[in-house]
Amino acid sequence: MLTNAQLAHELGVSPSTFSCIINQKPGVAAETRSRVIEELRERGVEYLIRDPKSGRQGFLEKPGLCFGVFKKEGFPPDITASYMIIMEAIQQRAMELGYNLFYMILDERRPVSEQIGIIRDMHVQGVLLYAAQMKEKDYERWADLPCPVVYLEQDFSRTACTCVSGASSAGAFQAVSHLVRLGHRRIGYLRSSLRLPAYRERERGYRSSLAGYGLSLKEEDVLTLPPPTGRADVDTAKFLQVLSGRQSDLLPTAFVADEDSYALIAMEGFRQKGLRVPLDLSLIGFLGTPQAAAAQIPLTTVSLDPAVYADTALHTLLELTKSPRNGAGPACGYRKVQIVPRLIQGSTTGRCRK
């Protein structure tokens, strides 16, 4: 979070001019005032502008909500495709509902009270907290947030709080069932080295679904991959390193993945190894990203509809804002909401030929 002085520098005005603008004081050219206010809007920090009578921040006309991202030490907040898809969908839906959405990173390395104070000064009606990196033990440190909170991509089953997440286990069952119906009996797993809670749930879902069909996930069929770098050549090279020493004819006939990006990297790696998808092996991703649909061979994937997710998250939060307890504690009727994904059949799955 930038200080006012840092913001002023980035916006090309002096700290005193910036202070006049956000405090609604005269002495600033109309053109400069309009430009700075517009840039504050684009940055999502228009809550800094104060009411000239009360001095209260958050003066602009739309009510506000905060989209917070919990950042674990050592990890950036935007390491997964799901983060970007969910954030963009929520931003769009909030706009449609007439809300300003303010973005903030909640960093575990910084004083919690300081960050809670910033949210308090925003005067927002509620917080959507993307908590993919948060553990249940972290919850207590943030329990004093001054408004209703909905935790995203977590269920915190032992904690009295409201959560919205994708039903990863249900999606994993759909993927495994689809492959079993196609005759596959040895199914591998493209596993992210980054063990976020959603990925862990998917792994449990894959293993339990296989067990339900009398199958098991052999450890030698688990390929652990580093998070994508965004550079196809680098990611493919790393995948080929993971495959090194493995005979192509001894690989599973199908793979499921933690996320679409891992399946797409594997598709290119298998191609370079001379394996044809889906003739030699089948692939299923998870999430339903635009990249999955636009791939040279459209990826079969378990899709989580971002529009449904955003609408559910926002309406769940807005319901909390209307509760007598203002969304705090079990008396307000906290909820654990899971959105069930659905299998989208692309062209990367086919009948088992072995």
Angstrom distance (rounded) from CA 191 to CA 205: 13
- List pLDDT tens digits, range 69-80: 888 765 555 566
Same domain, 136 and 156: yes
Angstrom distance (rounded) from CA 38 to CA 277: 49
Flag whether the pTM goes above 0.85.
Answer: no
DSSP E strands in 96-235: the ranges are 100-107, 127-130, 149-152, 162-166, 187-192, 222-225
Number of domains in the chain: 3
Same domain, 128 and 238: no
Angstrom distance (rounded) from CA 3 to CA 290: 36
pLDDT at residue 328 tops 50: no
Same domain, 227 and 109: no
Provide the pLDDT confidence category of residue 331 given band limits of 50, 70 and 90.
Answer: very low
- List pLDDT tens digits, range 302-314: 998 899 999 999 9
Same domain, 147 and 178: no
Same domain, 177 and 151: no
Angstrom distance (rounded) from CA 85 to CA 90: 9
The reply to whether 194 falls in a domain is yes
Q: Which residues contact 98 (CB under 8 A, 6 or more apart)?
A: 62, 63
Maximal C-alpha separation, the chain: 79
DSSP string, 292-340: HHHSSSPPEEEE--HHHHHHHHHHHHHHHHTSTTTT-SGGG---EEEE-
Pick the residue with more confidence: 112 or 62?
Answer: 112
Pick the residue with more confidence: 59 or 24?
Answer: 24
Provide the pLDDT confidence category of residue 139 given band limits of 50, 70 and 90.
Answer: confident
What is the rounded average pLDDT for all residues in the chain?
84
Instruction: Determine how many CB atoms are found less than 10 A away from the CB of residue 33.
Output: 17
Same domain, 286 and 322: no
- Pairing, β 300-303 against β 282-287: parallel
Same domain, 196 and 74: no
Same domain, 204 and 128: no
Domain that includes residue 189, residue range: 168-304
- List pLDDT tens digits, range 248-301: 778 999 999 999 999 999 999 999 999 999 999 999 999 888 889 999 999 999
